[in-house]
Amino acid sequence: MKKLLIIFLLIYSCQLCAQSIDRNLYSPGANAERDITELVKKAKAENKNVFIQAGGNWCSWCLEFNRFCKSDNQIDSIIKADYVVYHLNYSSENKNEAVFSKYGYPQRFGFPVFLIVDGNGNRVHTQNSSYLEQGKSYNKKKLIEFLQHWNRKAVNPAGLKN
């Protein structure tokens, strides 16, 4: 009976872990150019920047980044307050070559790679995600610092002190 209980608990815990990671973040069939154009308009209206997470459903680090951000209330709040988020697909089905070209070929850094785009559609920053990693996940302090350094307020020249 104990063995059955242990097996049941193992299966149940594996199912819970699997459910906590969204394995369909990226949509290979999406029109990324159109979607990003719409999000840029939305970001401008909401006084935010666009946070583009480029990668694919095949990328375990991409899925982990999303899980990490959603499971931490502080990080999730910062992202919601300062950014409009888009998951830019890169896969064998759709490499979104025109979009990656427009933003300076950020895939050279590997995946995920993060792009910060302002309310005018201009790329403000490209972030190699490996600098934010820690162990098998991400470093909370480094991620918060990154998010705060590239929000709209931080990159507004009017807010800089001489």
pLDDT tens for 41-70 read: 999 999 999 999 999 999 999 999 999 999
Q: Give the Cα separation of 103 and 124 in Å (integer).
A: 10
Q: Give the Cα separation of 136 and 32 in Å (integer).
A: 29
Q: 11 pLDDT band (50/70/90 cuts)?
A: low
Please state which of the four CATH numbers 1.20.1090.10, 3.40.50.300, 3.30.70.420, 3.40.30.10 is assigned to the domain occupying 23-153.
Answer: 3.40.30.10
Other Cβ atoms closer than 10 A to 104 = 11
pLDDT (0 to 100) of residue 22? 73
pLDDT (0 to 100) of residue 145? 98
Q: Could you give the dihedral angle defined by the CA atoms of residues 63, 55, 27 and 145, in that order, rounded to the nearest 10 degrees?
A: 70
Q: Write out the two tokens for 103.
A: 């933003």
Global pTM value: 0.85
Cα three-residue angle 143-150-153, rounded to 5 degrees: 125
pLDDT (0 to 100) of residue 151? 97
